[in-house]
A and B are shown apart, each in its own frame.
Chain A
Amino acid sequence: MKTLKHIKIYVAVLLLVGLFAGCGSDFLDQPPQDTILDVNFYKTPEQVLAGSAPLYNVVWFAYNDKASHGIGDGRGGVLTSGSYQLENVEFKTTSVTSENLSAWRAFYNIVGQSNTLITNLRKYAGEEVPDNIVEHAIAEARFMRGMAYMFLVQNWGEVPIITDNTALLQDTTITRNTVPSIWEFITRDIRYGTTHLPETPILAGRLTKYSAEGMLAKVYLTRAGVGKSGARDNVFLDSARILAKDVIENSGASLMTDYEELFKTKNNNNSETLFALQWVYNGADWGSQNSVQAFLAFGSSITGFADGWGGDIGASLYMLNKYDGLIDNGNTPDARRKATFMFPGDHYTYIHQQVIDPNTGNPVTQELRVPLGGSGYNNRAWVKKYVVGRPEDNEGKVSQQHTENGTYMLRLAEVYLIYAEAILGDAGSTSDGEALKYYNRVRIRANTSTKNIITWQDIFDERHLEFAMEGQLWYDFVRLHYYNPQKAYEILSTQDRGFYRITPDKIPDPTKWTIAVDPDDQTRTFPVDDGNFRIPLPSTEVLRAPNLSKTPVPYNFN
């Protein structure tokens, strides 16, 4: 009995020792096993390029989704609507308008991810990664950041420049920077790409030296008007001209022959593309896809899914007036019309639609013949550009709110028009051979007549015709507004954004359309002045960061 007791004490001591022995040291060190950590990444060239790849899609998503056409085309007067995007269409964008918020967020996500990538590459990039690859990724990040600031400064004016997000995590003293210093910042960021990016893309769709040069030409063209009144800065115009010319002559890019072909999924990254967002239709993650078809397509019959919510939007009458002969003659030779907007009766062989067979009551699929828009209430010239159709029209690469159609950010046609405008400068008109040559190339491709002398208005109109529904035209007004705000207000305030009725002469295969003002719609124009030209800062942002209300200061480049 006594021994038993001793054994028990012995056991008790052993247990006590065991009790406090504890676990191994790595028991409490278990990093996530399903994600890569920043500290372990960027060790090979592939990893570095995989770090910069998302800068071509997901970070842009919140802008591309609805704000690009709401702000870029709605505010620009190209798009009209009975309900969707009404605040933008009617120039009543407020501090709580959703496109305002989502655009702001997207641009600062681009800034944040670009900054973080630059910091992480400097900190963690492996020694075996060649310098030019690290520089390539940094140049991509700086290009994207420059692009983001270009959108930011044009929409909101003074905004804070951020270059190191981690340094600001605990800092709330940030102030906004002045417009000229933001443009200088943009110039430096984009210019970095002209010397650190290759002449040919490292992977299809990646940025090149010429993407950067073309974009820099655009930066200079716009910057030429910043802080000016009436006339622009010739030095900047010259820079724009020289850069545009280099792209035209040396990039190897060429216009696609058929304008309509530009907007097919299969022609992503074609010969005309200088910079396009790169979407994937079947990513497991929300935001890597192009979702605009969901909002632009007039109905689900042409998307194949429960999206297609664009039945209430279409070209504005202001826009339709730009097409040669359309209003007067009922039709236009301009090939861009059918590629940009659908008219009732239009026949598209490469997009299909599902209709109910009146005989059997069953759904059948046929080539798209654009239906009449029902009653006068919903009569619109629906949007065609970036509407790519059903899965069967795109090798299966479509699902609800997902397409793989690249979003053009810069294509050669725009460099042609930048070149022409840089040559024209502030002159009343020009007959310069170079300017005419490239201006007319754009016209010829679109099947419209060439010109022997061109004015600022000609180029401005051509940009409408060429880039409608590419989220561009609002920024053309911003460019004008920098040096001639009154003219910008005047054009915007007189644009006819009201409803109209569009009637084909026959069905099927109409040859003419009657486009008549809707007599029930009395409010056709919306006044624009310095009170509503700029987009106000999102209200949540001002509330959260009161420092944004401080007087803007020039950015300190040191």
Chain B
Amino acid sequence: MKEVYRSFFKRASVFLLLLTSVAAYGQHIVTGTIKDPAGNAMPGVNVLIKGTGNGTTTTIDGNYTLQANDEDVLVISFIGYKSQEIRVGNQTRIDAELREDVSTLQEVVVVGYGEMKRTDLSGAQTSVGSEQIAKTINTTIEQAIQGRAAGVYVTQNTGQPGGGISVNIRGVNTITGSNEPLYVVDGVQIQPSTLSYGATSSSNVLAGINPSDIANIEILQGPSATAIYGSRGTNGVILISTKRGKVGEMKVNYGFTYSLQDKPKNLPVMDLSQFADMTNQIRKITGGTPPPEFANPSLLGPGTNWQDALFKTAPLFKHQLSLSGGSEKTTFYLSGEHFDQEGVAIGSSFARSSIRLNVDNQTRKWLKIGTTLSVNQTKERITATQENTILNALQIAPNVPVKNPDGSWGGADLTNGNLVQFTPLNPVAIANIVQNKQKKFQVLGGVNFDVTLLKGLVFRTSLNGNLGFTRTDYFTPTYRLGNKTNDVASLTSGSSDNTYWNWNQLLQYNVRIGKHDIGAMASHESQESHWENVSGSKRGFVTNSVPDLNVGNTQGATTSGGQSPWAMESYFGRLNYSYNDKYIIQGSLRADGSVNFGPDNKWGYFPAVSAAWRITQEPFMESVAFINELKLRVETGVTGNQGSTSYYGPLASVSTPWGTGFPLSRYPNAALQWEETHTNNIGFNLGLFQNRIQLEGDFYIKKTNNLLMTSPLPDYMGVSAEGAIAPPQVNVGSLENRGWGFTLNTVNIDKNGFSWRSNFNVSGFKTEMTELYSDNAFIDHTSWFIGDTGSGNNWTQRSAVGQAPWLFRGYLYDGIFQSVDEINNSAIPVKVNGDRQDVAPGGVWVGDIKYKDLNGDNKIDEKDITNIGNPWPKATFGFTNTFTYMGFDLNILLTASYGNDIYNFLRFSNTNPNNINLGRNLMAETFNYARVEGSGSEAHLSNPGTDIPRIVTPDVNGNGLRFTDKFVEDGSYLRIKNITLGYSIPKTLIGKQNVVQGVRLAVGVQNLYTFTKYKGYDPEVGAYVGRDSQSTNQSIGVDYGRYPMTPAYTFSLAVDF
């Protein structure tokens, strides 16, 4: 391979030399004037000699002068206008008239159930094109959106290959439902549900789609754009169109990408000598015997570096081959891909193979048939995330070896305390031996017929479907990891399939009568989906090497099944009117009937209207030549959310000695109805200096009423823990989002073949709960698995009236008690009867944490818990810079988030010195825990400056139990998301062969560097996904050992044949 590239470059330099020498021969001066169709002189127009960087730009009068050769060809170009090529010959004066490039200005964009001229848009909508998508390494399509559009807040919930992503469009729209937008992939509607519980929660529903097949992504944000999707439009709609063939010679393209993903930078944890030292000290403090092997800590080496053992540099490959082309009648696009990504953490990987065929056929003059078909398969290993290996790698003690001298896996033993329940399992062993795999097979596609009935009147019907098969296997083999053994292997295998179909019939009528442009659309749509699942589990495998249900023991085998139907029927229509391309009005109405609601509430109605005024089309603006486009937009509309839970009262299945028992599993609620969002939006589009500067801005207020939520009932209603009746789905409360977004596209330099273009987008939103069933009401998400499970102090995030949703809850940290006097003068925790806890070494003592007594009752109790952090950013940014020169292009993407908080749970848990008693390793800073000297009133700290509390059990003061603002860290970051340098080898250099038409080489680095104050691996924390997360307890902005994103170095090659 290397040899090939070297010879390419050799040839390239020879050609360059030759060209310059030729250029020096037979030159003469050429002058000219460039004008627009109206006859006005055009300044700043590029006049270049083709194939070189030589050239000039026109002056303010539209004139230019340059030296050229007889054989040269001038390329005259200006943004927004069609380029012209003129052979010089013996001419000395070459004038030209540039025509507006209709393909840019009259650019047609995809909207919900149709297409529209970009200039006719009256609502807020953003496009992301295939060129942008191609610039970054995207395992899945949503990654391509990050940083590209204002109003879209994308966080990767996990760095796990193929892992789930949160896409929030314009704020938080619902409290307990899904906030993910509706994706429409070539007509197939996919709404990622709220997180699914269990062994596969970290994976992604859109992972099967090959990002290289995407032609265009439209992000619908404003109400007039989204309301046509009615009850599924509240969270925004992302329209994804895949590539289609174009008439002409068949294009063959091969692409190859290789990427090397780096390990994360290690977090500072204690080494073995510190760990041994601290273990000895806690044994002394708690009245135990120090382990003999730790007798002399200073002689012990650094011990096992678990982070080095868990993380590795990992490769990523992608091969992509596409063929496209077609005749006048039939065009096609055929592509195939193989993608293979190893994760940087052992026990994670993602692979996808996909084939796509899109065919369009003009069957008759009046009939057009189009089909799309995608078949794909993904394979994932998700052990790393589902087994919390990253958390465990930070917590497992350094005296535990990864492997024992005899080659078996190491594990914690009695030296690490005998609380084997709490000592982590060897994460490297677990990542290697536990198999948690997921395989998905998907067929996605459809057919549509366009019948032109009369001029302007088109009937379109489309039938789209999505079939999916998923197979999951979760095998835990027998193992012996130190004192932890698993003598019985277990396997759970599940198989599920889902079918979805959508049949749409649509009439579209467009007519232009004089200056009146009128469009009308009416449509009916029905869609239905069905999901079913079977799973089986067996225990007791005689061998670990054949993990199949056939091999397991039938005793203790369990099976389960499930299915769920869903259906929706809709009628909708839209009217567009524009007068003289100046005044634009649009109105739409959709009626949706859903199975999720009872007979009285089945149907919901979703209207929207919008208007735009293109001020630049007014006569009085003609004199303002530097403004090319100024459009004001207003829109208002209603969208909905139908949730995913039905109104029935289902019974649960419970095993009893007398067969299956049936208790109620959820309170029914026949009054359940839609969640409704009213949005008002104003916006503008501004184009200056021949559209070299384009600014787009939007401001919106979204008010959501009848919030769909799980009723936040107290536990005394029997709604929590095993055997509970789940609270009913109810419509309670309101929330409001206020937000803004700006997008600035500029052509900074476009001169002499060198261009520099930028896209800068910034947006922000503020969400506030405005109403619940009472002013004091709140809804908590409590993650039972985050926090001290032994004490009931579990991580909680709250939504309450007057606040943003899901604020962090905790106490305020006020330092470490330095003296008995200080304790006596401070509020401290109290006993059950309200008396102060004893001020004594076994109670509250010097070295304990001082909490702020917020209500001034001189007690530290749950009433002093307050909001300590906000997971939502104040603003997010994306900044793309593209430089091109000759065949080179350089692309730099920066993404940033400002003002969000992260709760660094890893640091909270791993700086609790008492945890050393559980045989856990801790952050290096913990070694400086408060050391208490002296007794009685003489007690003081030998290290008074420390902010780590003392060692004490039981922890009456709650040092290691109470969450405080001390670990709320600023999550703002600026990330150099991507830098790519590409070189398209000019055709002239490829030379005299007709096999290869074009070659592009690129090198890049993804996630090069992140500027942040955050102390964990990676500030892009997102929502927690993992084995125990559930939509009713999911945390946001809490780092509980999130799989970090790391730098990746990429080489890619694209060849056109």
Contacts and interface: CB of A to CB of B under 8 A. Distances in A.
Given A38-B664, A111-B718, A281 B917 contact: no
A181 interface: no
B718 A113 contact: yes
Interface stretch (A21-29, A240-248, A329-337, A433-441): A21-29
A300 interface: yes
B719 A38 contact: no
Interface in A378-407: 378, 390-391, 396-397, 399-400
Interface in A525-558: 529-536, 538-546
B931 interface: no
B662 A36 contact: yes
B834 A531 contact: yes
B566 A50 contact: no
Contact of B556 (A36, A160, A281): A281
B315 interface: no
A486 interface: no
Contact of B653 (A110, A285, A305): A285
B414 A374 contact: yes
A284 B792 contact: no
B715 A499 contact: no
A518 B594 contact: no
Contacts of A400: 486, 488
B559 to A, nearest CB: 7
B419 A311 contact: yes
Contact of B564 (A21, A23, A33, A39): A33
Interface string B639-683: 000000010111111111111111111011000000000000000
Contacts of A60: 723
Nearest to A102: B721
B505 interface: yes
A35 B651 contact: yes
A539 B862 contact: yes
Contacts of A354: 485, 487
Interface string A204-227: 111000000000000000000000
Contacts of B569: 22-23, 27-28
B419 A51 contact: no
Contacts of B507: 12, 15-16, 19
A471 interface: no
Contacts of A90: 954
B420 interface: yes
A305 B487 contact: yes
A284 B768 CA distance: 41
B505 A58 contact: no
Contact of A54 (B594, B648, B661, B832): B661
Interface in B910-963: 917, 953-954, 956, 961
A102 B664 CA distance: 20
Given A38-B664, A300-B483, A539-B862, A98 B556 contact: no
A72 interface: no
A166 B670 CA distance: 13
A396 B540 CA distance: 10
Place the interface of chain B in its size category.
Answer: 35 or more
Contact of B660 (A50, A166, A539): A50
Given A34-B563, A112-B725, A287-B722, A311 B656 contact: no
A306 interface: yes
B477 to A, nearest CB: 12
Nearest to A376: B289
Nearest to A86: B954
Interface stretch (B379-387, B452-460, B610-618): B452-460
Interface in A111-168: 111-113, 115-117, 120, 159-160, 162, 165-166, 168
* Chain B CB within 10 A, most for which of A20, A62, A162, A300: A300
A510 interface: no
A545 B537 CA distance: 41
Nearest to A168: B717
B987 interface: no
Contacts of A374: 414, 418
Contacts of A283: 558, 654-655
A205 B658 CA distance: 9
Given A51-B663, A87-B954, A169 B728 contact: yes
B973 to A, nearest CB: 33
Interface residues of A, number: 142
A27 B523 contact: no
A487 interface: no
B595 A18 contact: no
Nearest to B406: A361
Contact of A22 (B419, B524, B655, B662): B524
B421 interface: yes
A35 B524 contact: no
Nearest to A119: B664
A428 interface: no
A249 interface: no
Given A98-B791, A391-B488, A540-B780, A280 B656 contact: yes
Interface in B546-566: 553, 555-566
B526 interface: yes
A312 B567 contact: no
Nearest to A289: B655
A30 interface: yes
Interface in A33-59: 33-39, 41, 47, 49-59
B991 interface: no
A288 interface: yes
A62 B723 CA distance: 9
B99 interface: no
Contacts of A306: 484-486
B954 A92 contact: yes
A8 interface: yes
Interface string B822-853: 00000000011111000000100000000000
B289 to A, nearest CB: 4
B649 A96 contact: no
Nearest to A531: B833
A23 B725 contact: no
Contact of B831 (A83, A280, A390, A532): A532
A538 B505 contact: no
Interface in B479-503: 480, 483-488, 490
B713 interface: yes
A62 B722 contact: yes
A309 interface: yes
B717 A53 contact: no
A59 B723 contact: yes
A306 B832 CA distance: 36
Interface in B599-620: 599, 602
Interface string A279-313: 11111111110000000000111001111110110
A288 B656 contact: yes
Given A30-B567, A354-B485, A87 B658 contact: no
B553 to A, nearest CB: 8
A23 B526 contact: yes
Given A100-B792, A541-B714, 20 more contacts: A28-B568, A28-B594, A29-B599, A36-B662, A37-B651, A54-B654, A58-B723, A60-B723, A87-B791, A105-B721, A112-B718, A112-B724, A284-B558, A300-B420, A305-B488, A312-B418, A518-B287, A520-B288, A544-B712, A546-B776
Interface of B: 283, 286-289, 366, 414, 418-421, 451, 453-454, 457, 459, 480, 483-488, 490, 505, 507, 522-524, 526, 528, 532, 537, 539-540, 553, 555-569, 571, 593-595, 599, 602, 646, 648-665, 667-668, 711-725, 728, 773-774, 776, 778, 780, 782, 789-793, 831-835, 842, 861-862, 917, 953-954, 956, 961
20 contacts: A16-B507, A28-B569, A28-B595, A38-B649, A39-B649, A53-B662, A56-B656, A83-B917, A92-B954, A93-B832, A98-B792, A106-B721, A108-B716, A112-B717, A204-B657, A300-B487, A306-B486, A378-B418, A399-B556, A542-B862
The 4 closest A-B pairs by CB, nearest first: A112-B718, A531-B833, A283-B655, A287-B722
